[in-house]
Structure formats: C-alpha cells, structure tokens
Structure 1
Amino acid sequence: MPTLTDHLADPRSSVRLRAVMAAGTTADPADLDVLLEQCATDPDLQVREALTWSLVRLPAELVVPRLVAELDRPEAQARSQALHTLSKIRDGSVFDEVAERIGDTDPGVRRTAWRAAVVLAPDAERPALARRLALELGEGDRDRRLALSRALVSLGEDVVAPVLAGATARRGDAVRAHVAETERLLHDPDAASSLALERARREMALGRSKRASG
C-alpha cells in the first residue's frame, strides 16, 4: 500500500493535495517529518497551503519547535513556509525568532516574515517592530512596497502613524512617496488595489520615458 511519502512524490499536484488533506484529517504526529520536508520542496501553492493546514492540526507543542528549526534551513521555501505556518498557529512566544527573519536575504522570505511578525508581536514590541519595518520604506518594486505597507498598517494607526510621520523627515522622494501610500492605505483599507495600479502605471510611464531618452 502506498505511503504518504509515496503519494507526495507523485508529480501530479492533485494526488499530493489529496494526500496532504488526508494527513491533516487524521492529524497523526507520525506524519510531521514528512509534511515538513514537503513544505521545503512542493512547487504547488495549493498543496503548500494544505500543508500548513495539516501542520496546524497537529499538537502545537510538537510542531512549533520544529517550525522554528526550519527557519535556519538553507532553502528559502522552507523558511517562508515555516513563517507562514507559525503565523497561523499564532504562538507569540516565537516572535523573536520570527523577527530575526525580517532581514532575510531572500525577498520572499522577508515579506513573509513581515506578515508573521506583525501577527505574533506582543503589544510591547509593536512600536519597535514598526520602526524596524519603516527602515524598508522606499525600497523595491511595487509588490514589495505594497506588502510592507500592509504589514505596517496591520500594526494599527496608533503605532504606525508616529513612525510614518518620522519617516517623512528622511531624505529621498521614494521614501516620502511610500509613506504617502501607506498613510492612504491606513485610512482606506480598500485603497490597496488602486495603489498597485497607480504604481504600475507610473513605472510603465517611467520605462517608456527612459526608452525614449535612450
């Protein structure tokens, strides 16, 4: 009879998805090692979401320490998936370990760490977290900026507004523009889609301008 490992080695994502869902339904701690290893390698987003669901259904006292250990793995996907799953378990005791990944060398892991840190931050740590995230303002492409804005906004206006006000004093048009976008999102949560569209249009226009001048 095929094992969970056998099913997860199948090239068909539908087979892997069914296997992971079945594992989550039975919630057997004996599957923990296999599920964690699959997190690091599975190429399908839907399967990875099911992996998170299955891990969350296992006893947190077993899963959380293993997820923390995954944060030191060389594979970016393993680190990102561990951060995502920790944010779903919502065990604030691992905030420090999660916060260390805010500066991860991989951009995708860094964005996941922003989201996870915001979810797990104790109240006393939220102002410091906002200041740390604000150091990233003005950097990267529109997706990165929007992800950072969303993370900052999730900390709440009382925490974020003073940090944004201080960031406007920093030099650089990119930082000030990003602060303005974040403040807009802070007061209008539905503005995220229009902000992304506006930034895409600006970048397209800039690209046309550079080609014309070149």
Structure 2
Amino acid sequence: MTGPEPDTNFIRAVRALENGSSSTRLRAALAVGTAPDPRLVEKLVERCAVEPDFSVREMLTWALTRHPASMTVPKLVDELRSERAQARSQALHTLSKIGDRRAWPAITRALLTDADDEVARAAWRAAVVLVPEGEQSGLAEVLATQLGRGSRQTRLSLSRALIALGEMIMPILGAASTDPRPDVRQHAIATQRLSRDPDAGFELAVEEAKRVVALGRTGQDG
C-alpha cells in the first residue's frame, strides 16, 4: 500500500493547525517544523495572527524558522501592516528569530513606537537583532523616545534593547537622565546602572534610580 496522497497530508495539516485543541495545534506545528512544507508557510503566518496559546505561537514561530527565509520573510513583513496587534507582534518576534537583515527596512519608527506595548516590545527586540552596522545610533535615538513608557516589564524590555546596542547608548541615556519628566529620568538612570552592573538586576537599578531622582541628581552624578 502507498501512503496518503500529498494533498491529503496538506489538508490534514491545515485542519490540525485550526483544531479546537491547543495540544493538537501544538503537535501540528511541531510536525510542520519537523518536515517543512512550503505550501504551509502562509497558513503558519495566518495562525500566528490569531493563535491564543503562547506555547503554540512559539511552535508556529519555530516552524516558520525551519522554512527558507526567502519564503517566510516577505509574508511576515506583510503582516507588519496588519491592523491586528497580535499579527504585528508575532511577525516581529518571528523575524527576530529568523534574523534576516533584509527585513530591517520594515522595522519602522511607527512599529518602534506602536501604541500596543506587546508590538513595541517585539519591535525593539527585532530591531536590535536586525539593525545594520552604522545604523545603531539612529535606532538608539528612536528607542530613547520610549523611555518611561509602560509597565515594569515594558521598561525592562526597552532597557535590554538599549543595552544590547552597546556603549554608544551612554550619551543618549545621559541626556535622558536630565529630562524634565521624572519617569523618563528614572528609566534612563536605571538603564545606565543596569548596563554598568548587569548582575544587580533591574529592580535594584530602578530602586537606586528612584533615590537618585528624588535627590535631584542625574545618572551622571556620583
């Protein structure tokens, strides 16, 4: 006996990726990544935009990384224009995992300053992976406009992105540490401290930054 026809396998994979059970969808994404099928790239990208389960989304991303970048990157870049925040954030996350710098022009200022925190955080991570040599300074300037934004987790994500750009961020953080807005000053100082002493942890850096701001000093003072 011969095995199932290829089209039957394709249809089964599509149905499994849309199954109501998250464990079935997880297994389906694993199977597609294990035996990549170019015909399923569009379905994988489509599922990323709507998949409610984090673990399944991560497996979908992994499955996409198993396919040629020439096939996945253009479709993921198209997703960056979606009105659905999850479509944008997951496409950015996947692009950061693929690491193909041809996607860099699609990481726009609009994405780096997206009103949705998850999208912005994914854009920051993707940007520091994809930024070409010589463009780090411009990226750092845009990222610095987001200092003081959002929750602790959002601020930590931004700090990590800035620190990943290297020593060239220090003058930018120094300028931000004198910003008239207390939240911006505090975040800039905390990022400076975390950069100098990564082992101290973000919470300690934030607490120290709060004391510095309360005393009216900048991150450049002793």
TM-score higher than 0.5: yes
Aligned to 1:3: 12
Contact 2:117 2:150 in 1 (8 A): no
Q: How many residues align?
A: 200
CA-CA distance at 1:123 after TM superposition: 1.9
Report whether the alignment pairs 1:135 with 2:142.
no
Seen in structure 2, the aligned counterparts of structure 1 residues 162 and 198 have a Cα distance that, compared at 3 Å, is closer
Where 2:118 maps in the other structure, the secondary structure is helix
Root-mean-square deviation (CA, aligned residues, Å) is: 2.1
Distance, in Å, in 1 between the alignment partners of 2:61 and 2:200 is 29
Query: Matches of 2:156 and 2:12 in 1, distance apart?
Result: 42
Amino acid at match of 1:35: L
Residue 103 of structure 1 pairs with residue 94 of structure 2: no
Residue 86 of structure 2 contacts residue 119 of structure 2 at CA under 8 Å; is this kept in 1?
Answer: yes
Could you tell me which of 133, 136, 145 is aligned with 1:123?
133
Secondary structure of 2:150's counterpart equals coil
Task: Find the residue that maps to 1:124 and give its secondary structure.
Answer: coil
1:180–1:196 Cα change, 3 Å: closer
Structure 2 distance, partners of 1:164, 1:12, is 47
Structure 1 residue 28 corresponds to structure 2 residue 33: no
Give SS of 2:201's match: helix
- Structure 1: 5+ residue stretches without partners: 203-214
- The structure in which a higher percent of residues are helix is 1
User: Residues 109 and 155 of structure 1: is their aligned pair in 2 closer, same or farther, counting only changes over 3 Å?
Assistant: same
Higher-Rg structure is 2
CA distance in 2 between partners of 1:7 and 1:163 (Å)? 49
Q: TM-score, normalised by structure 2?
A: 0.84
Secondary structure at 1:139 match in 2: coil
The letter for the 2-side match of 1:39 is C
Instruction: Flag the 1:46–1:75 CA change in 2: closer, same or farther, 3 A.
Output: same
| 2: CA distance, partners of 1:15 / 1:58 | 21
Question: 2:184 matched to which residue of 1?
Answer: 175
* Cα distance change, pair 26–182 in 1 and its aligned pair in 2 (3 A): same
Equivalent residue letter for 2:68 = P
**1:83 aligned residue:** 92
CA distance in 2, matches of 1:117, 1:137: 16
Checking the alignment, whether the CA contact within 8 Å between 1:111 and 1:148 is kept in structure 2 is yes
Q: Give the alignment's TM-score, normalised by structure 1.
A: 0.86
Does the CA contact (< 8 Å) of 1:7 and 1:15 recur in 2? Answer: yes
User: How big is each residue's C-alpha offset from its partner over 1:86-135, in whole Å with a ceiling of 9 and x where there is no partner?
Assistant: 11111112212113411223221011101111111112110111111111
Using a 3 Å threshold, how does the CA distance of structure 1 residues 10 and 17 change in structure 2: closer, same or farther?
same
In the alignment, structure 1 residue 145 sits paired with structure 2 residue 167: no
SS at match of 2:108: helix
Whether contact under 8 Å (1:146, 1:196) holds in the other structure is: no
Contact preservation (8 Å) 1:99, 1:117:
no
Q: 1:172 to 1:98 in 2, by over 3 A?
A: same
Q: Match for residue 52 of structure 1?
A: 61
Q: Does 1:162 align with 2:171?
A: yes
Identical amino acids, percent of aligned pairs? 49
Q: Which runs of 5+ in 2 are unaligned?
A: 1-7, 212-222
The separation in 1 between residues aligned to 2:64 and 2:200, in whole angstroms, is: 34
Q: Which amino acid aligns with 2:132?
A: P
Could you tell me how far apart the structure 2 residues matched to 1:25 and 1:133 are? 37
What residue in structure 2 maps to residue 210 of structure 1? none
